[in-house]
Chain A
C-alpha cells in the first residue's frame, strides 16, 4: 500500500477533509456559529460555578476558561471522532486501496480548520484585553503546531488499535472525562501544590494549553521542566502512533 504519489495523497486528503467540513453543518440554521456557541455556554456555566469556589481568582478568568475550552473541545471532539473512524468507514476500506491514514487525518484537519476559525473570532475580544505582544503569534503557532501533531499522533494510535480491540473506543471516552480535569482549563497550574506537579508533567496537553493561554492572554508560560517532560511524552505517543498505524493499516480489511 505505497503512497503512489504525494500529490494525489494531498488531493485525496483535501477531498476527504472537504467532505467532513461540508457534511458537518449541513441543514443547520446556525452553521459555523456552533463553533463558538458551545464553548460559550460551557464558559458561562463553568465560570459562574467555579468563581463561587476558587479562593484566589485567576486573572481574566473567563478568557482563561474560553482559551482552554476551545482548545480542549477541539482535542476531545477530534479524538472521539477519529478513534472509531476506520470502523465507521468500513465500506471504504472494503472498496478501494487508498492510504488508510487519510480517514483519521481528514477528521483532524477539518477540526483544526474549525478550531482555527474559532480562535480567529476569539482574537477580537482578546485584542481589547491588551495582552497581545509581538511574541504572541510565535507562541500561538508553536502551541497550534504541537496540538496538531499530538492530536494526529494519539489519534493514529487509538484509531489503529480500535480496529482489533473495540475496547479502545470506550477507554477513550472514559479517559477524556478524567483528562478534562487533569488539564489546566478551569484552574491554573499555579494553584497546584508543588508535590503534585509531576502529575501534570505526564499530560502533554498541559504545556499546549499553557502556551495558548500565554499567547492570547499573557498568563505564565509553561515551566521548562513541565514543557520538557510533556514534549518527551508527546514524541513517544506520536512515534508509537505512526509505527502502529503503519503496521496495522495493511490488515484493517481483516478486522472490519
Chain B
C-alpha cells in the first residue's frame, strides 16, 4: 500500500466551540437574547498522527474525546484551526445508522456503502464478501425490519470494514452482537492493522488501550495533555 511514516492526520491549533442551549432555541429568543453561552470542547489541539499508528484517546466523560473523533471523521467542523486527513476515514460508531427498514439487506449495503464514500462498482465487487462476513444468509433479500438487532449490527460492521478504510475510528464499547461475532470483529480489525491502516479508539480504560495501542493521548477538559 502506501509508504511508511507518512502523515495520516494533522491537526493544527484545533479548537471547537459549542453554544450551550439548555432548550432548543427559537428564532424569537435568539433575536431577543442575542448571544448564547459558549463551551469550548477542544482548545488549541495540535496533533500529528502517522500512518499505521494505533492511537488510544483517554479521558473522563465530557473531556472532548468524542468531539476530537468527530472532527477527525469530518462530521464536525472545528471553530478554529485546520485539519488534514489522508485517505478514507470510516467510523465504527453508530453502525446501524443509515439502514432503512423497508429496504432489503442488499439494497441497504449499497446505500450504506455509498454514504461511506464507496463507489457502486466497489460495493458490487465486495458484496459477496460483505454478506459472507455479516453471516446474514438467506435474509439478504428480505426487508431489514425482519432483522434482529445483532444482524443489523453485523451488517453495519461488515460494510464499514469492507470499505477499505485508511483511518478507522472506534469507541471502546462498540457493540457487534454476540461473543462469537465480537471475536470475529476484533480479528478483522487486527487483520486491517497489519495492512498499515491507522486506528483511533477512545476509551476510559487505560488497560485496554495499553494493550492495543501504540500511543496514548490523554485529554482533559478539551486540552491534550503532554505525553510522558
Contacts and interface: CB of A to CB of B under 8 A. Distances in A.
A22 B103 contact: yes
15 contacts: A11-B114, A19-B107, A22-B102, A91-B96, A92-B97, A95-B98, A95-B115, A96-B115, A97-B73, A97-B89, A165-B26, A165-B27, A253-B75, A253-B77, A254-B19
**Size bracket of the A interface:** 20 to 34
Nearest to B108: A19
Contacts of A1: 74, 77
B117 interface: yes
Contact of A15 (B90, B102, B110): B110
Interface string A64-101: 00000000000000000000000000011111111000
Given A19-B103, A165-B26, A96 B116 contact: yes
Nearest to B96: A91
A209 B221 CA distance: 57
Interface residues of B, number: 35
B30 interface: yes
Contacts of A254: 18-19, 76
Interface in B1-49: 18-19, 24-28, 30
B198 interface: no
B100 interface: yes
Contacts of B213: none
A166 B30 CA distance: 12
Interface of A: 1, 4, 7-8, 11-12, 15-16, 18-19, 22-23, 26-27, 91-98, 164-168, 250-251, 253-254
- Residue among B74, B103, B114 facing the most chain A CB atoms (10 A cut-off): B114
A12 B102 contact: no
Contacts of B89: 97
Contacts of A19: 100, 103, 107, 111
A142 B67 CA distance: 46
B127 interface: no
A94 B98 contact: no
Contacts, number: 87
Nearest to B90: A96
Given A22-B107, A96-B75, A15 B114 contact: yes
A251 B117 contact: no
A253 B70 contact: yes
In the A-B complex, the 10 residue pairs with the smallest Cβ-Cβ separation, listed nearest first, are A97-B74, A91-B97, A250-B77, A95-B97, A15-B114, A165-B27, A26-B102, A23-B102, A12-B114, A253-B76
A153 B100 CA distance: 27
Contacts of B18: 254
B26 A97 contact: no
B136 interface: no
B24 to A, nearest CB: 5
Contacts of A18: 107
B129 interface: no
A96 B111 contact: no
A167 B27 contact: yes
A22 B100 CA distance: 10
Contacts of B26: 165-167
Given A19-B107, A92-B98, 6 more contacts: A23-B103, A26-B143, A95-B97, A96-B117, A97-B75, A165-B26
